[in-house]
Amino acid sequence: MTSRSLIGFVHNGQHPPALQMSKAVMRALDLGDACWLSSAGELDALRRKLTNTKLIVVAGGDGTILRAVRVIAEYGIPLVGINMGRVGFMAELKVDEAIAKLPEYLNGDVRVEKRMMLEVSVTRASERAPYLTLHALNDVVVGRGGVTRLLDIEAVIDGETLTSYRADAVIVSTATGSTGYALSAGGPIMHPETEAILIQPVAAHTGLRNGVILPHHAKLQLHASDDHEATLSVDGFSDTTLHKEDYVSVRRSPYVTRFLRRHTPSTFYAALAPRLGV
């Protein structure tokens, strides 16, 4: 990491003020050729630059950070977010403090917060190797496609059947994702540095209706056995149609997301209620 020299600026391509904010910070810090600029949607085309990037500044909301993480996680690049969204659970800085505070992050006067991610793969029953593998910071969701009927989703943990959910969806979440979709489905809140996996059904009619927290080393398999169309969503972006012979496997990812923080881990508790509007 110490040999890397570039600083990347990533913005929400659908929100012009985020681009303006990124450019303003770049000018204020006078980084010259030591930085680059990209929208989150175009980041995949800059992989050659990522191998020489030591820090990424993301201007946008949590969705923009999730888009960036999909690309940068495998490179081990830490990031700091400027909150231009609504809730901003992952972002570190407010817009009005970004220019003044960013030098602390560039100089290394902060701590690195590592967050566990999930690896999800989809394998057809007739095949040995998965045809799709993705990594998620927030969650993996197996849910209904374009139909209104409930799904029957079997959950198997480390080779043992947990239950067969009859529900709208099943969420498999990290601690980071516990304050997202899983929370709206009635799941518990976990500190973001907790290394655990949460299974949370959505509107379950049968099977377990409460969330189940698994250790980080657990391996989970989901199978939507109904004839009705099911979909796989990863961090809310990758929607893949599942066939009834498809098996979704979820386990801890080899990658982690690295956030730069200037506050202690306990700050999460003080910020929790205000961010949820409580």
**Which positions are annotated as active-site residues?**
62
Amino acid at 111: R
Residue 28 · residue 99 · CB < 8 Å:
yes
DSSP-derived 3-state class of residue 223: strand
In whole angstroms, what is the distance from residue 70 CA to residue 89 CA? 17
DSSP-derived 3-state class of residue 11: strand
3-state secondary structure of 3: coil
| CA dihedral for 267, 271, 272, 278, sign (positive or negative) | positive
CA pair distance 1, 216, nearest whole angstrom = 26
How far does the chain reach from its first CA to its final CA, in angstroms?
A: 40
